Structure 1
């Protein structure tokens, strides 16, 4: 295969889910849009901040539909395709669904990227879809100033197993299934400061399918789920809090991070999205006085293909966590709880 003459990441202003609009901008835009309408079978639409739309087909089975795409987070085209596809499929799993097919979304700057490189991106996406047991059944492509790749994904779910992000209950425990720090790692990668073992760790977490979400939805003690992506743990935690009308308490010391995340962020590897995230929702988060700025950046760090944030009955949290770890998410951890009160996120830290 001919080598790409330029780094894929050099052709994009940002990468991965760090390219998302700032949370405040997105909320304003969505607030200006008309409601999806009085469609009796539309169970989940644009009225909230859920991960996918849900349509009731027949009172028993629901259709779950989503789309997700972004600019390169890595330079290897096959890895980029795998990461982007895994990230898109995650939205279906986060709703409790099982994906059944995908459509490719492709935008490439003609003349800057060789066709063989584009083919490798598509192959990477197809490989991730194969891992989920679904085909890439079609798609659409255009000429764009920056490379863009992602998927529209369709899934199904029994109606009683649909899980929204706004159904957390006071007293629930919070579980995070993957470690944070992807944005920090990607910032180091763009500046060619991420060692090989760091790249391997980033690739491993971003290409790990969140299929456990479909399994957890069968458990009535799992009340709410969402995937943690571009808005960081604090931002997506706030979406859960707002939708549920409850507060969230997060124990900083219990949150799992990629091995070098703390060291890298202290060395200044912070994304612009982390700053935008804090500016958008910082007033709704309560941080302890002793929490350092680098620690805050880890909580606002944009995740690409991040893990699931799960709200479940507290007395079964240990058993549910063990099930998640046994399913292939060894870093999963209980990181906090849901509390009665105003929809805010409160961070706790020792010392």
Structure 2
């Protein structure tokens, strides 16, 4: 029932002020009053619509596509004072998924907050997605979420309150699944619906998973397909493929808890979750903080059904465009990379998967553990070499790592620090991979050597074989002199008065003069990662020929086809 006295009192005051008391931008009487005979300023409610209310039609940008872009955000943050508190283990400057504050030597708080607009129409499902997305940052750091506070903005005078209630119920149910208690929250009356949570958890300071610990040789594994931004935008336009949309909703409501458990038990060091800045945007923070170059094989990146077709039809959100503009500064893409794949990598994700940097020897273990927990981990790239932070995007020329290779690496001994001192990143696997015949021949030679060694041992009456004795004699890495030499090489390889680019040019010339193919292939990768052009690289190589003479020239000629010179 309308309180006419209250309406008269409120409207008379609005008329005196020259605008509605609830909205200074609107005249009194407002259009709603003229059309619906409802005075919102007096607390009157609009009648509930008979048709279903589509939440995605009430917002401009859906889900994490509503985030402020990285360029603008960094510009704002760069002007703020830096926090210099020793208790802050991970702060804003790290551009990581959550902040971490030390409580005691073996316990720290991990905190995050995430709020965004609806990317689905059903309010309960939206609440679930908002909760799964909010708690994901805690999982990405290796933490355990404990409590949460809800944050909601809602046009309570224009929409039924049952919508807001369903959002909160969906969020609370999903957080209960995560073992997280909602202690309360904060609400704001606003024209645009926004919802999310501030989440607090605990973490062992010695087992923090950050975005600054990716190492050359690590394999990149993604735990959810991409395309939630594309499908949400297509849904707004009424053009979303139903199969893809339902698959995306199922993935967005799925917690990243199982994947986080795998990271913890595997003692991984580097990861991030993929949300509004897209895969390239979040990976960019990892490579910059870790000071490495990453390789992404774009055609290996999984996507939801129908996403690629949508991209080919031009269904690309403004947020994806902004993400692509930001990515242009740090990616190198090959000419044959289809536009739709590049946009897929820039697509803003909501409640996306985890991107893990996994040491080669742990890949098989991680993939198996994910599968056991019904999580499909997909290898999409690898970390190549030290740099200022670059990403190479290309179409895959071969599998990054096969299941057999992953299993084999678990039994291999760690590479000698001495043998890798010259080229810490090692040569590319695809350039030094032995053929099956070579491997078989190597096995035969090893067996023959073992037999000879055993006979000699039996004859001499010694307990050790010749091979073991030889290994002991040549185990230079255990000597103090070798340790000093290795440390010297590693120190020289870092940037100093000479930049990394300059040092790579010198290294290329020396590798040619020394006719060291593994050195040359490794430093070619590093040179490209450092941003050197093919012309600069060629000049350095030919300088090596000048000082190496005919043998160096023959060495280069033999490698021309392989190196594309």
What interval of TM-score do these two structures reach, taking the shorter chain for normalisation? over 0.9
Match of 1:22 in 2: 69
User: 1:185 & 1:128 partners in 2: Cα distance?
Assistant: 22
2:104 paired with 1:47 = no
State how far apart, in whole Å, the 2-side matches of 1:4 and 1:94 are.
40
Partner of 1:7: 54
- Secondary structure, aligned partner of 1:222: coil
- Larger-Rg structure: 2
Q: Matches of residues 222-301 of structure 1 in structure 2 within 5 Å? A: 222-301=268-347
The 10-residue stretch of structure 1 (197-206 or 149-158) with the greater mean CA deviation from structure 2 = 197-206
TM-score under structure 1 length normalisation: 0.95
Partner deviation per Cα, 1:201-229 (whole Å, 9 max, x = no partner):
11111011011354234346512010011
**Could you say what secondary structure the match of 1:73 adopts?**
coil
Task: Tell me the alpha carbon deviations over residues 67-125 of structure 1, each in whole angstroms, 9 at most, x when there is no partner.
Answer: 00101101110011111111000000000001011110010012221101110011111
1:182–1:302 CA contact under 8 A, matched in 2: yes
Q: Residue 234 of structure 1 contacts residue 300 of structure 1 at CA under 8 Å; is this kept in 2?
A: yes
1:103 to 149, 168, 173: 149
1:346 aligns with 2:397: no
More strand by share: 1
Contact 1:221 1:316 in 2 (8 A): no
Q: Which residue does the alignment assign to 2:81?
A: 34
Q: Secondary structure at the match of 1:241?
A: helix
Match of 2:162 in 1: 116
Higher deviation after alignment, 261-270 or 227-236 = 261-270
Is residue 92–residue 98 contact of structure 1 (8 Å, CA) maintained in 2?
yes
Q: Is the 8 A contact 1:2 1:116 kept in 2?
A: no
Contact 1:248 1:345 in 2 (8 A): yes
Q: Are 2:230 and 1:184 equivalent residues in the alignment?
A: yes
Q: Which runs of 4+ in 1 moved over 4 A?
A: 1-5
How many angstroms apart in 1 are the aligned matches of 2:392 and 2:343?
A: 15
Q: Give the 3-state SS of the residue equivalent to 2:94 in structure 1.
A: coil
The alignment's C-alpha RMSD in Å is 1.6
Instruction: Summarize deviations over 1:254-294 as a string: whole Å, max 9, x none.
Output: 21111211111112221111100111221211111011211
Higher normalized helix content (fraction of residues) = 2
Q: Give per-residue Cα distances to partners, 1:317-349, cap 9 Å, x unaligned.
A: 12212211221212x211111121321110120
Distance 1:228 1:3 in 2: 38
> How does 1:189-228 map onto structure 2 within 5 Å?
189-219=235-265, 221-228=267-274
CA-to-partner distance for each residue in 1:141-195, whole Å, 9 max, x for gaps?
0111200100000111112121111111111111111111111111111111224
Partners of 1:167 and 1:136 in 2: CA distance: 32
- What is the 5 A alignment of 1:46-85? 46-85=92-131
Gaps of 5+ in 1: none
Matched, 1:151 2:197: yes
- Which fold has the larger relative contact order, with Cα–Cα distance below 8 Å and residues 6 or more apart in sequence? 1
Do 2:266 and 2:366's aligned partners in 1 also have CA atoms closer than 8 Å? no
Which of 126, 142, 156 is the aligned partner of 2:188? 142
Structure 2 gaps, min length 5 = 1-47, 398-565
Shift of 1:241: 0.3
